[in-house]
């Protein structure tokens, strides 16, 4: 019997490693047909690029492996609610389903902030499933920022 892998746990493990390297601990995976086709942690610090969010990197990696410019048969797992930039990118790439762990009231754009997928200027709305391993993801971020202070 094959079990569906716990993709959010895999993403959280990747986020934890990024946090140990000094990045804000967030990571994203793209899954097609039960297989991870792209994965990335935040790399803003490493790449000196404030747009190098995990979601942006994973989306580009997945698109680079495909002939079409759509990910409408792919699901994105991310450990934190996507920001406005990333929500825009998720819509552009036509991701089928978005799973995320912790909410981000300060900078999120799905259930927080501009709630982009509910707006008329959003031209593709993924199915959204939030709150998976939320406590674990939130605690990882809390600890990271507490240690920074």
The secondary element (H helix, E strand) that includes residue 90 is helix 84-92
Task: Determine contact, residues 40/62, Cβ cutoff 8 Å.
Answer: no
**CA–CA distance, 42 with 65 (Å, rounded to integer):** 20
**CA–CA distance, 2 with 38 (Å, rounded to integer):** 21
| Shortest Å, Cβ 42 to its own copies | 12
Task: Determine contact, residues 144/124, Cβ cutoff 8 Å.
Answer: no
| Shortest Å, Cβ 13 to its own copies | 26
9 or 51: CB nearest its own copies? 51
Task: Determine contact, residues 53/86, Cβ cutoff 8 Å.
Answer: yes
Q: Is 136 a catalytic residue?
A: no
2 or 68: CB nearest its own copies? 68
| Shortest Å, Cβ 136 to its own copies | 24
Catalytic residue (choose from 55, 61, 127, 139): 55
6 or 49: CB nearest its own copies? 49
Q: Give me the residues that bind its own copies (CB under 8 A), please.
A: 44-45, 48-51, 56, 59-60, 63-64, 66-70, 83-89, 91-94, 106-109, 112-114, 116, 119-123
**CA–CA distance, 73 with 127 (Å, rounded to integer):** 12
Residues involved in catalysis? 55
């Amino acid at each position: 019997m094959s079990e569906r892998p716990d993709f959010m746990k895999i993403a959280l493990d990747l986020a934890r490693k990024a946090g140990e390297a000094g990045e804000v601990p967030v990571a994203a995976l793209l899954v097609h047909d039960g297989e991870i086709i792209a994965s990335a942690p935040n790399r803003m610090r490493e790449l000196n690029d404030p747009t190098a969010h995990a979601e942006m990197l994973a989306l580009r990696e997945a698109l680079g492996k495909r002939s079409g410019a759509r990910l409408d048969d792919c699901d994105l797992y991310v450990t934190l609610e996507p920001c406005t930039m990333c929500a825009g990118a998720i819509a552009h790439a036509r991701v089928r389903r978005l799973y995320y762990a912790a909410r981000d009231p300060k900078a999120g754009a799905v259930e927080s902030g501009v709630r982009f997928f509910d707006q008329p200027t959003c031209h593709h709305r993924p199915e959204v499933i939030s709150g998976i391993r939320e406590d674990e993801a939130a605690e990882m971020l809390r600890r990271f920022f507490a240690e920074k202070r």
